[in-house]
Structure 1
Amino acid sequence: MPLLGFGTWQITGDQAYDAVREALDVGYRHLDTATMYGNEAEVGRAIRDSGVPREDIFVTTKLPPSQVGKERQTIAASLAALDLDRVDLWLIHWPPSSGRQSLAAWQEFRAVRDEGLTRAIGVSNYDTAEIDALVEATGETPAVNQIRWGPALYDARMVADHRDRGVVLEGYSPFKTTNLSDRVLAGIARAHGVTPSQVVLRWHLDHGFVAIPKSATPARIRENFDVFGFSLTEDELRQLDAMAG
């Protein structure tokens, strides 16, 4: 899974199609969508029209908790909309209202994975205890936990908990969770000749976190991908980690 992905939350219709086409043209090879986003068809059409080989693109979609008990219908609808034989990662979008429902969904996710409809399975917005409950009941560890994340939310214990369990930490809303006018962040950006947003994304990559920035603006889509020409020092990473207070 590429560490830098392209998020599609709140982007629908032609805007979603155009944004995903731009992202693929720029070089993104990781696309993140969800049943509740209502844009899987546009994401799939953009993939088909891009000319990028399907095997080069990592596609994630998600099951809303309201669809627990309808996992097969939901993944079938997602694959039909995306016009794909399988996705690369399927996530439970956030924990259902009860642990029993969460476990039932996880069991269905395992079966869907074993049937080849998704390469990997994971969760989103789960805490450590909720992940442990799934593992204890099934022996199956989620490949990924997608959560709100950024320097201002950095939690060394949470990072260690994910690492110890072999769960990839994937961050969404990297800019909404960060004060982009922060003095330290702005100073690091100036030192590298980049924008604060690019520093935030580089912080994710240098820590080994997956980041999925979202934008419908072509210039921002390009800017967000242009983060491979510099790296942060250990001291800069520590300064940014300290934004969490």
Structure 2
Amino acid sequence: MSVPNIILNNGVSIPQLGFGVWQVPPAETRAAVRTALEAGYRSIDTAAAYENESGVGEALADSGIPRQDLFVTTKLWNRNQGYETTLRAFDDSLAKLGLDYVDLYLIHWPMPAADRYIDTWQAFEKLYADRRIRAIGVSNFQIPHLERLFESSGVVPAVDQVELHPYLQQRELRAFHEEFGIRTEAWSPLAKGGALLTDPVVADIAAKHGRSTAQVVLRWHLQLGTIVIPKSVTPARIRENIAVFDFALDEADMAAIAGLDRGRRTGPDPETFNLGFDGA
């Protein structure tokens, strides 16, 4: 299965569809990632907070796939924000992954009340300058957070990974990303809770194309130009989620899905989410 690449603002290529391991239990991570690699995924997204970086690293080592053919993303957890703590946390993630470098490193949450993401970004810039990371970015940053980052740094994030799905389409944020050369990456691309995958509009489009509702939603993301990282531990679903490059939604399909936007989050609000700060 050939997955197209997206070119980031520093020239680095990232597969447009990758495999996420959020909420994948550490004991199941190695097998899930192995299945994903066998199915054709080459981009794996993890995070320190998921506590499964070691399982990801083991699966990568088992695979025999050349390192240059893989794209590995991990994220800095909230309690480690700050300059020196970021540097130490990165070393810890790298050791768990068993790698010499990561392809993309993200600030997991802005935590504006903690006011540490500027110092954190400076540490990211150092790691990038030292060529220990091929691209640096953020996750869950909203426009005000990005604007403040721009005021203090000449390095524009390559990626902003945010909750994005047909019920939360984030049009204003996506337009801002496009204006400044930031690539939008969707976490929870199928939305939590299952309502989206039984939505009558999505179900009708799926029936029209002879596809699953999950495949229709992933195809919608791809045609928007979004980078997307669905997750599953079920081998059949892992394979199904990557089998989305041999059909296309038409204008009527895209318009129908555009009409589903409810501005509804299924995850935390980036303005207030503070888990992990001060040891919580």
Q: Could you tell me whether the CA contact under 8 Å between 1:21 and 1:47 is conserved in 2?
A: yes
1:95 equivalent in alignment to 2:104: no
1:28 equivalent in alignment to 2:45: no
Partner of 2:256: 239
- CA distance in structure 2 between the aligned counterparts of 1:160 and 1:238, rounded to whole angstroms: 18
Q: Residues 141-195 of structure 1, C-alpha deviation per residue, up to 9 Å, x if partnerless? A: 1111111111111132222111001111100111225611111111111111100
Q: Could you tell me which of 187, 194, 197 is aligned with 2:211?
A: 194
After TM superposition, the structure 1 = structure 2 runs for residues 16-55 of structure 1, keeping only pairs within 5 Å, are 16-55=29-68
Q: Could you tell me whether the CA contact under 8 Å between 2:203 and 2:213 is conserved in 1?
A: yes
Pairwise CA distance, 1:99: 6.8
- CA distance in structure 2 between the aligned counterparts of 1:135 and 1:65, rounded to whole angstroms: 21
**Match of 1:32, as an amino acid?**
D
Q: Could you tell me whether the CA contact under 8 Å between 1:12 and 1:42 is conserved in 2?
A: no
Q: Aligned residue pairs: how many?
A: 245
Partner of 2:175: 160
Structure with greater helix share of residues = 1
Pairwise CA distance, 1:27: 0.2
Of 96-105 and 220-229, the range deviating more from structure 2: 96-105
Of 233-242 and 215-224, the range deviating more from structure 2: 233-242
**Percent of aligned pairs with the same amino acid:** 45
TM-score, normalised via structure 1 length: 0.96
Q: Residues 32-61 of structure 1, C-alpha deviation per residue, up to 9 Å, x if partnerless? A: 000111111110110010121111111000
After TM superposition, the structure 1 = structure 2 runs for residues 199-210 of structure 1, keeping only pairs within 5 Å, are 199-210=216-227
Partner of 1:71: 86
- CA distance in structure 1 between the aligned counterparts of 2:93 and 2:198, rounded to whole angstroms: 39
- CA distance in structure 2 between the aligned counterparts of 1:229 and 1:191, rounded to whole angstroms: 15
Q: Residues 59-111 of structure 1, C-alpha deviation per residue, up to 9 Å, x if partnerless? A: 00000121013111111111111111100000000013447411000111001
Partner of 1:172: 187
Partner of 1:108: 123
- In structure 2, stretches of 5+ residues that fail to align are 1-13, 263-280
Partner of 2:18: 5
Partner of 1:60: 73
- CA distance in structure 1 between the aligned counterparts of 2:156 and 2:166, rounded to whole angstroms: 26
Q: Secondary structure at the match of 1:244?
A: coil
Of 94-103 and 14-23, the range deviating more from structure 2: 94-103
Partner of 2:267: none
**Match of 1:18, as an amino acid?**
A
